[in-house]
Amino acid sequence: MSFYNKMTKTELENEKIKLKKKYENFKQMNLKLNMSRGKPSTEQLELSSGMLNNITCDDLSKTEDGFETRNYGMLSGIPEAKKFFANILDVTPDMIIVGENSSLSLMYNCVHIAMQFGILGNKPWKDIENVKFLCPAPGYDRHFAICEIFGIEMISIPMDENGPDMDKVKMLAESDPLVKGIWCVPKYSNPTGITYSDEVVRKFAALKPAAQDFRIFWDNAYVVHHLSKKHDELLNIFDVCKDYGSEDMVLEFTSTSKITFPGGGISAIATSEKNVQSILEIMSIQTICNDKINQLRHCLFFSTSQKLDSHMQAHASIIKPKFDLVLEKLEEKIKPFGIGSWTNPNGGYFISFNSMNGCGKRIGELCKQAGVVLTNVGATYPYGIDPYNRNIRIAPTFPPIKELSIAMDVFCVCVKIASIEKLLREYE
């Protein structure tokens, strides 16, 4: 075995013939495998079964402050749920608004509010031509989709193992008043799995954006989603913001979608008191209150932070072997040929794979034809355009381990074929 780029044309051609045979065999298996979305597996869902029937009328009739959970009211959430999220995010409960099941919809709502009504008295973005967002990439496709639907121009920011390129972020945010925001997944980032370094977090807090209504969308989706005992530590951005008086600049989001039930969880915003007030003002027109019964369900289930910890360890013990399997397959089947690089995260839901430049879409195509669905290649970049056409987000959590193993075998063969095709094109 040797690196493909050291092989002669004939060696490559022979290798390709062998691989094509394997590939055809896979095709004949009529596989239907999916590594596209960050979905918990059924086994993980069972971990939260105890939450389905854990509530009585007595629990509900009185929350901590004596409020009837089953009736209208408490727009910002029940006290227990605010404390729950405050503990997770290491902020104070008065910084929390508890949402419905989806942190994505909270993010959408914050963009909508800025668009339609403006942030804290600033001009509504709808009345400004060419609002721009910074988009560290590869990143989360659903963030980019929000920008796209609102017509917000997206500017890609390169990512490395410490987070976004902060020189570029600073330069753009501080010089251009049309730059109104940035999307971040600061811990176990989607898809690279890295956690922003302390220095990066400090540089965020220290930003002096040209736009007064610049907002950091700090999507802390994977805050407690460790894969092993080796946890990444993310600096608390609000703590650092205090030094700069920049607390209003940060909107932090999280949810229990991958703690309890995707779609059946609860979500939260954490932000400055001033932002909390102004968001609640609009929310009071949007709804009467969120689902407080589900809030209390969660708080009863996670009555102590130890319970949450052990619950997340149980998740990890199910999904860590899947991450390990993906990494082993890549080590074994890709590494010897020098045709890709990938991340080895301590948490989160993804492994980010970079093929040789220009091979991404072809790999996705080959996988699809063999019945293995990957996240759309390119989706991890604004407008779905990966400038290097190489980044593939692998989501190992959902498939059973046997299926994942086959899916990875298919994937590796596809990577190899696409790489050889590319190298052979260079002879043309």
Would you tell me which residues interact with a second copy (CB under 8 A)? 37, 39-40, 42, 45-46, 48-49, 52-57, 60-61, 68-73, 100-102, 104-105, 108, 112, 115-117, 126, 142, 145-146, 149-150, 257, 261-264, 282, 285-294
Nearer to a second copy, 148 or 409 (CB): 148
Query: In the bound complex, what is the minimum distance in angstroms from residue 302's beta carbon to a second copy?
Result: 17
Query: In the bound complex, what is the minimum distance in angstroms from residue 256's beta carbon to a second copy?
Result: 12
- The alpha carbon of residue 256 and the mean position of all alpha carbons in its chain are separated, in whole angstroms, by 13
Residue 34 makes CB contacts below 8 A (sequence gap 6+) with 372, 373, 398, 399
Q: Is the peptide bond before 136 cis (omega within 30 degrees of 0)?
A: no
Nearer to a second copy, 281 or 331 (CB): 281
Would you state the structure tokens that stand for residue 392, as one six-digit string?
């593939």
Q: Are 183 and 143 in contact (CB under 8 A)?
A: yes
Query: In the bound complex, what is the minimum distance in angstroms from residue 26's beta carbon to a second copy?
Result: 26
Nearer to a second copy, 1 or 285 (CB): 285
Q: Which of 285, 238, 290 is nearest to 77 (CA)?
A: 290
Nearer to a second copy, 135 or 417 (CB): 135
Q: Strand order in 153-160's β-sheet?
A: 96-98, 267-270, 250-255, 215-219, 179-184, 132-137, 153-160, 163-164
Query: In the bound complex, what is the minimum distance in angstroms from residue 75's beta carbon to a second copy?
Result: 10
Q: At what angle do helices 198-205 and 166-175 cross, to 10 degrees?
A: 0
Rounded distance, CA 298 to CA 292, Å?
10
Query: In the bound complex, what is the minimum distance in angstroms from residue 73's beta carbon to a second copy?
Result: 7
Q: Rounded to 10 degrees, what is the CA torsion of 69, 72, 75, 80?
A: 0
H-run or E-run covering 157: strand 153-160
Nearer to a second copy, 17 or 149 (CB): 149
Nearer to a second copy, 106 or 418 (CB): 106
Would you state the structure tokens that stand for residue 358, as one six-digit string?
């220009």
Query: Looking at beta carbons, which pairs linking 4-9 to residues 24 or more positions away fall under 8 Å?
Result: 4/337, 4/338, 4/339, 4/416, 4/419, 4/420, 4/423, 5/338, 5/423, 7/423, 9/424, 9/427
Query: In the bound complex, what is the minimum distance in angstroms from residue 287's beta carbon to a second copy?
Result: 4
Query: In the bound complex, what is the minimum distance in angstroms from residue 253's beta carbon to a second copy?
Result: 13
Nearer to a second copy, 146 or 223 (CB): 146
What is the sign of the dihedral through the CA atoms of 36, 38, 43 and 46? negative
Nearer to a second copy, 228 or 286 (CB): 286
Query: In the bound complex, what is the minimum distance in angstroms from residue 164's beta carbon to a second copy?
Result: 23
